[in-house]
């Protein structure tokens, strides 16, 4: 075992676990080779009466006397973002926004600042990556900003804290946390200790002064926010901006939210003038859908309280190799293999010598089991080279015995299909009665995949 070095600590890059000596496996998260060496930060404890950032001594308060008002949330002016946040920005909250480079994180937050300033709220935008001229050039494409929008190009956290105290804004944006530098920590910006300590200082500012703080976080090649995993535990809300930066559509997904649901998504389209909201994502998901083409089925998934229609495409062809190739884009690869095994066992379909490709259009990624029935029908349609009814929507979970199991909020799914003009909905038998309450759409109930096969073909 390696000996401990004086003045040096080792941090886990995954969970932030701290130890005075190097270890191959982190005792906290059990991951291997995640320990990095960094100088220890000297910490001093001041004796005396504790004073908060607001200048007063903190006192306990009865929970029953704490009141929550609707005005404690600030509307961002973007309904898609408000949906993901749970109704708006909570006063004194801290939100982490992560995403790939060039996906539009800075553009999104700059547009939020524009709407907030126009609504009369004071905003401070702190950038550690761009100059004032670069920010101005990007802001001119979004719109005209008034005097309530302040910008500061600085990486020294001490100077940033002083600027926040002097200007006392309602909302602060830090772009990005990996560029911030705290004098009390001797390591370089972006390191584990710098990110953790800088976030802690910003958290004290947010809670002590009641300022809502947004911080931008870079992501690693695995798609997680760079730096210690404890960063996501410290903040109140974690948002991920997803999508292909070369495509026009973006998905904003909440993976943690102490003030709302984590199932909601926001859909945006990147244009020359900035990010535009997509209030009806089902329409753009189905845009350009081929007619009378085999292997195409429309499914309905639920993202929070919002039903989302999307096209599932499949291509099944005989393999030229000894081991057939399988590929899934936008859904779980192992789930597709499981469903194909169910078709072989329960329906007698010989798919063992076929290449199979499954794709969810629109660049969205979903893992809901309700997509199982649509994936099964798409695979069968391509295997038989038989197009399905273009006016049909299918949803339901498929079990290993071939049964089609019920899903949540079936009535809302059927209503969304009817609203967009679909005529038929294939649903699990247990959900049929609830779905038949929706007028104007024919409901076909199936209890297993064999019944679905007989009804569809």
For the stretch 153-186, pLDDT in tens is 999 999 999 999 999 999 999 998 989 988 887 7
pLDDT for residue 387 is more than 80: yes
Segment 299-316, tens digit of pLDDT? 999 987 889 999 999 999
pLDDT of 402 higher than 50 = yes
Average the pLDDT over each of 85-94, 280-289, 430-439 and give the range with the smallest value: 280-289
- Which candidate, 301, 303, 267, places its Cα nearest to that of 413? 301
* Contacts of residue 286, Cβ cutoff 8 Å, sequence gap at least 6: 298, 309, 310, 311, 420
At 224-253, the pLDDT tens digits run 665 556 788 889 999 998 876 666 788 898
Rounded alpha-carbon distances, angstroms, from residue 435 to 22, 392, 430: 59, 14, 10
pTM: 0.74
Identify the burial level of 321 via C-beta atoms within 10 angstroms of its C-beta, where 0-12 means exposed, 13-18 middle and 19 or more buried.
Answer: exposed
- Work out the number of other CB atoms within 10 angstroms of the CB of residue 427: 29
3-state secondary structure of 330: coil
Question: Could you give the CA distance from residue 37 to residue 9 in angstroms, rounded to a whole number?
Answer: 6
Residue 327: the pLDDT is: 94
The answer to whether residue 334 scores a pLDDT higher than 60 is: yes
CA-nearest of 214, 264, 252, 209 to 235 is 214
Rounded Cα distance, 384 and 377, in Å = 10
User: In this predicted structure, which of 45-54, 157-166, 255-264, 406-415 has the lowest mean pLDDT?
Assistant: 45-54
Answer whether 219's CB lies under 8 Å from 232's CB: no
Question: Does the pLDDT of residue 219 top 80, yes or no?
Answer: no
| pLDDT(46) > 50 | no
pLDDT digits (tens, 9 = 90+) for 124-154: 999 998 999 999 998 888 888 888 999 999 9
Tokens 């109140």 locate to: 236
Q: What is the distance between the alpha carbons of residues 432 and 163, in angstroms, rounded to a whole number?
A: 60
């Amino acid at each position: 075992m390696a000996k401990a070095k004086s003045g040096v600590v080792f941090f886990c890059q995954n969970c932030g676990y701290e130890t005075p000596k190097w270890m191959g496996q982190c005792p906290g998260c059990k991951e291997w080779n995640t320990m990095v060496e960094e100088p220890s930060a000297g910490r001093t404890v001041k004796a005396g009466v504790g004073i908060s950032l607001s200048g007063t001594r903190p006192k306990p308060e009865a929970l029953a006397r704490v009141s929550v008002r609707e005005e404690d949330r600030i509307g961002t002016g973007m309904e898609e973002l408000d949906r993901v946040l749970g109704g708006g920005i909570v006063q004194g909250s801290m939100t982490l926004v992560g995403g790939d480079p060039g996906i539009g994180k800075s553009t999104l937050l700059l547009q939020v600042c524009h709407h907030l300033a126009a609504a009369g709220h004071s905003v401070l935008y702190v950038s550690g990556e761009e100059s004032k001229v670069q920010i101005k050039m990007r802001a001119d494409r979004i719109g005209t900003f008034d005097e309530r929008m302040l910008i500061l190009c600085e990486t020294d956290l001490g100077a940033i804290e002083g600027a926040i105290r002097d200007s006392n804004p309602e909302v602060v944006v830090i772009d990005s946390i990996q560029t911030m530098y705290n004098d009390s920590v001797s390591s370089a910006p972006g390191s584990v200790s710098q990110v953790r300590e800088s976030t802690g200082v910003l958290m004290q500012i947010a809670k002590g002064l009641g300022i809502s703080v947004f911080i931008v976080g870079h992501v690693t090649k695995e798609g997680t926010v760079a730096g210690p995993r404890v960063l996501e535990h410290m903040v109140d809300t974690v948002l991920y901006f997803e999508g292909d930066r070369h495509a026009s559509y973006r998905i904003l997904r909440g993976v943690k939210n102490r003030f709302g649901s984590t199932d909601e998504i926001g859909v945006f389209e990147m244009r020359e003038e900035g990010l535009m909201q997509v209030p009806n994502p089902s329409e753009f998901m189905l845009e350009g859908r081929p007619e009378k083409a085999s292997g195409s089925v429309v499914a309905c998934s639920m993202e929070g309280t919002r039903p989302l229609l999307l096209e599932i495409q499949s291509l099944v062809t005989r393999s030229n190799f000894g081991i057939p190739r399988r590929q899934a884009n936008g859904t779980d690869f192992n789930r597709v293999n499981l469903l194909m095994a169910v078709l072989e066992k329960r329906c007698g379909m010989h798919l063992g010598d076929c290449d199979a490709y499954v794709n969810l259009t629109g660049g969205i990624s979903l893992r809901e089991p309700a997509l199982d029935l649509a994936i099964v029908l798409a695979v069968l349609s391509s295997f038989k080279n038989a197009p399905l009814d273009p006016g049909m929507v299918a949803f339901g979970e498929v079990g290993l015995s071939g049964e089609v199991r019920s899903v949540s909020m079936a009535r809302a799914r059927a209503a969304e299909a009817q609203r967009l003009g679909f005529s038929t909905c294939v649903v699990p038998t247990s959900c049929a009665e609830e779905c038949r309450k929706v007028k104007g759409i024919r409901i076909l109930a199936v209890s297993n995949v064999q019944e679905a096969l007989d009804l569809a073909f």
